[in-house]
Amino acid sequence: MIKIDMFLAVGMYFSFLFVFFWAALYSRERASRADDFDVNADLTKYVRQCPYCGHVGIDYNRRQIFRCSVCSSYMEDKGNVE
């Protein structure tokens, strides 16, 4: 039989408890984050086309000023930003 100290046993108990609750909170936070992303959302509203070079890019942040990744020119969103 293994002899362990009482403080060691209590410490191990609380550390297991801590790890369990931390894992539960972390998985819950991850699940709520996954709920925020709508798979069926209309992704076409994120698509931007550069008027100068014709490059089509995706801007998930929906910024007012968008910079083309090919020709580095700036373009302004004309009012349809939500």
Cross-strand partners of 74: 67
Q: Which of 10, 25, 47, 53 binds Zn ion (CB under 5 A)?
A: 53
Q: Pattern of binders to Zn ion over 1-40, x per CB under 5 A?
A: ----------------------------------------
Which residues touch 66 (CB under 8 Å, ≥6 apart)?
Answer: 48, 57, 59, 74, 75, 76, 77
Check binding of 67 to Zn ion (CB under 5 A).
no
* Options 9-17, 32-40, 41-49, 55-63: segment touching Zn ion (CB under 5 A): 55-63
What SS3 class is residue 58? strand
